[in-house]
Amino acid sequence: MPDSRIETGEESLKHKNRKEIRFHHVGIVVQTDTIKNLLINFIEIDEHSWHVDSQGVDVTFLPLGNAFLELIYPHGNKTIEKYIDRYGEGIHHFCFEVNDLDYWADKCDKKGFKVVSKDQRCFFIHPKSFGGILVEFVQYTEKDHMQVLTVMK
């Protein structure tokens, strides 16, 4: 009897063409290292930090199991500075990682979710069209500097 766990060539092709989505991170806007230090000292986890000049932010990713916490520090980004002034430090968005960004952007649009800030690496769903929650989608690529953080194979 053949092993049912072994894919045939046709099944393998279907799997490769499947539009995958998985949870990637929760974005938290911060002004200080207080939250980061609490997490690093309490859970004893590593951090990966860098500056994103094009977005005017410093980011720190903290790995937790198969996902991440992203700490976003405004470094000239007026939108995030205004967000913190209005709501304080805290959860800003959640993010999915996908293998076909255009497919998911089209699907979101067809479902009535307002796609904003789309580029070759990511897009967002406006919170007014998604129950008040900002949602990010990121494209996994081999050349992406986030590769060291991702769990997607």
Kindly give, in sequence order, each residue whose CB lies less than 8 Å from that of residue 121, ignoring residues fewer than 6 positions away.
101, 138, 139, 141, 144
* Domain boundaries of the chain, sorted by first residue: 21-97, 99-141
Encoded tokens for 151:
């769990």
Fold of 21-97: 2,3-Dihydroxybiphenyl 1,2-Dioxygenase; domain 1 (3.10.180)
- pTM of the shown model: 0.78
pLDDT in tens, the chain (153 residues): 444 444 444 444 345 567 889 999 999 999 999 999 998 888 888 899 999 998 899 999 999 888 999 999 999 999 999 999 999 999 999 999 999 999 999 999 999 999 998 988 899 999 999 999 999 999 986 555 455 454 432
With contact defined as beta carbons under 8 Å apart, do 57 and 74 qualify?
Answer: yes
